[in-house]
Amino acid sequence: MELGRFSHVVLGLLSLGPGSGYDLKALVDRSTRYFWAASYGQIYPELRRLAAAGLIEGESAPTGARARTIYRLTPAGGRALRAWLATPEAGVEVRDEGLLKLFFAGALGTSEGLREKVAAIRVQFEATLGQLRAIEAATVVEGSPATRLVLDYGLTLHGCVVRWCEEAEARLAAGEHSETTQEES
């Protein structure tokens, strides 16, 4: 059986603890979604495929009459996860509409347009930064070293973007947009 990129996300999530498809979706939405989103349309079919392949196993655990299946990693699933973790190749794909708009903002003709697009990027990253801080506050004790490290990464990076935007906005407002030579290292 061929494992897709998303298969490893499910294996990884289940390595943090057993859960239902619904649980996984909720977990994704407050963790990996910032660097790897997932929808129900992916999760449920993937759980079935992985169970059929013997990498995870589901146990029926209904709440009253409400059907519910809790999945957990099998030993084979754990091996598959660690094998994937051991491979070094890693790609980053980004689709950033805000940067795209900034990149093409010259078509607006005004330097005011540039500043607005930078501000839009800042507002968006400030919002995400706020979400990450809320997650941080809710995670003070729990969380593995790995997940805390990734949260720290997110906080640092979003902070960097916000700071860059503030500085760029200040420069643009000061009208220095024609000759900004880099002076620092």
Partner DNA sequence: GACGGCATGTAAGTCGTTACATGATTTG
Partner DNA sequence: CAAATCATGTAACGACTTACATGCCGTC
**What does the binding site for a second copy look like in residue numbers (CB under 8 A)?**
5, 8-9, 12, 15-16, 31-32, 34-37, 78, 81-82, 84-86, 88-108, 111, 113-114, 117-118, 120-121, 124, 128, 144-150, 152-153, 156-157, 160-161, 164, 168, 177-178, 180, 182
C-alpha R_g of the chain: 22
What, of a second copy, DNA, none, does residue 38 touch, CB below 5 to 8 Å by kind? DNA
Long-range pairs of 22-27 with CB within 8 A, sequence gap ≥ 24: 22/68
Q: Which amino acid does the sequence have at 130?
A: G
Write the burial class of residue 10 (CB in 10 Å: 0-12 exposed, 13-18 middle, 19+ buried). buried
DSSP 2: -
Helix (H, G, I), strand (E, B) or coil at 108: helix
Distance CA 139, CA 133 (A): 10
Residue 34 or 71 having the CB closest to a second copy: 34
DSSP classification of residue 19 = B
CB 63 to a second copy: min, Å: 28
Q: Between 75 and 95, name the residue whose CB sits nearer to DNA.
A: 95
What residues numbered 5-44 form the site for DNA, per CB under 7 A?
5-6, 20-23, 26, 37-42, 44
User: Cβ of residue 18: shortest distance to a second copy, in angstroms?
Assistant: 14
The footprint of DNA (CB under 7 A) covers 4-6, 20-23, 26, 37-42, 44-45, 47-48, 63-69, 93, 95
